Structure formats: C-alpha cells, structure tokens
A and B are shown apart, each in its own frame.
Chain A
C-alpha cells in the first residue's frame, strides 16, 4: 500500500536551475495539492487540482508550475530556483466526493537552493 509517493526525498539546486518534484498516488483520488512547509509558517498551499486537466493556484504559487495529465500524477516544477524556495515540499491527495475527508500526505521533499 504505497499511498502518496514523492521523489526525490532530498535535492540541492543552484540558483537559476529548474527541476521537477514528482508526486504519485495509487488511491484514485481526484484532489491533489502541493504545500511548502517552512519553520514557524505551517503548511502553505502552492497549487491544487480537482482532476486530470484541471489545476488552480493556492496561496503561494509564484515560481512554481503544475500540470495534471493523469489522475495518479501531479508534478511540481520550479522554473528558476531561488534561495527563497528552500523548503520542505509535501504533496497530498484526497477523494473529492467525500465531505470533510482526510488528506493523505507524502513523506516530503527537502529542497535546498544555494
């Protein structure tokens, strides 16, 4: 039972580099989201998707892109990494048609931009 799988677990980037954080879930959940977690800031929503082909911005979307070509995958792209994007990134999924449902989280990707 894999649940939500994030790769890589750790990554170091140089300023200006681009990369993609991968997220896959095997629970057939329609709703998927990306958060970043910084010390003392809790979890802040970056982007979310309610199904394949549908994405929308969250609270802190600048510098990030997403796409949702399948139900299972929801990659997060950093276009040109900046030190301010150093953070721990979490992907989460949940079923859309169940009210007040649980969000299932991956183990996170710790990203350092130097």
Chain B
C-alpha cells in the first residue's frame, strides 16, 4: 500500500503571508496531483506533475515534484482569503489508475 504523508494538517495565516504544504512518501509515484476542496463540494484538480524535478506555476501557486518522484510541495505566495480550503495531494503508482490521497491540509487565510 502506497502512503502519502501530508503536512501540516492545519494552517492558519494572515493575508499576504507565504506558505508551503508538503506531501511525502517512501514510494515512487508515476504522477502526483494536487486538488483543492471547498466546503460542501468535491475536490477539484489544480495541477498534475509527472516528471521528477518538475516545477509548475499556477498564478501564485508553485508546485514541485521531487527528483525521486516520492514527494511534492505546494507553495503559495502572498496568500489571499480566496485560497482558504482543503488542499489534497494524490498519487498514482506505475500502471495504476487508482489515486492514493494524503490526509489533506486545511488552510485558513485571515483577512
């Protein structure tokens, strides 16, 4: 069973601060995805990373896939109240369609 450890579990910051969320595993993943979930809704995909060392940017969000494809990070620059939500990392093993999810990071950005 592939496990994804996500940290921190909770994060409360002031508007304008920077933050980083981590997703770590002892297993290698063929791809890793980050989803964002709002209360009462299902998760929605933010990004997919597939190559070791890959960096993707989505406005103020920067996603990185570790060189060994065992870990990933999400960095938010100058957080806004609209960034508030639950952030989930999810990985797929080689040849698998199943997604393994981390436990999530609940982010609150205070105005």
In chain A, positions 68-114 with a C-beta closer than 8 Å to chain B are 90, 92, 94, 96, 99-100, 102-103, 105-108
Q: Using Cβ atoms and an 8 Å threshold, which residues of chain B touch A33? A: 98-99
Q: Does B111 contact A (CB under 8 A)?
A: no
Q: A27 → chain B, closest Cβ, in Å?
A: 14
Q: Does B43 contact A (CB under 8 A)?
A: yes
User: How many Å lie between the Cα of A12 and that of B19 in the bound state?
Assistant: 39
User: How many Å lie between the Cα of A7 and that of B41 in the bound state?
Assistant: 13
User: How many Å lie between the Cα of A101 and that of B101 in the bound state?
Assistant: 15
Instruction: Kindly name the residue among A50, A96, A100, A106 whose own CB sees the greatest number of chain B CB atoms within 10 A.
Output: A100
Contact check, A48 vs B45: say whether CB atoms are below 8 A apart.
Answer: no
Instruction: Kindly name the residue among A40, A90, A99, A103 whose own CB sees the greatest number of chain B CB atoms within 10 A.
Output: A103
Q: Using Cβ atoms and an 8 Å threshold, which residues of chain A touch B41? A: 107-108
Contact check, B92 vs A100: say whether CB atoms are below 8 A apart.
Answer: yes
Contact check, B40 vs A108: say whether CB atoms are below 8 A apart.
Answer: yes
Q: Using Cβ atoms and an 8 Å threshold, which residues of chain B touch A50? A: 97
User: How many Å lie between the Cα of A105 and that of B40 in the bound state?
Assistant: 12
Residues of A whose CB lies within 8 Å of any CB of B are 4, 31, 33, 35, 40-45, 48, 50, 58-59, 90, 92, 94, 96, 99-100, 102-103, 105-108
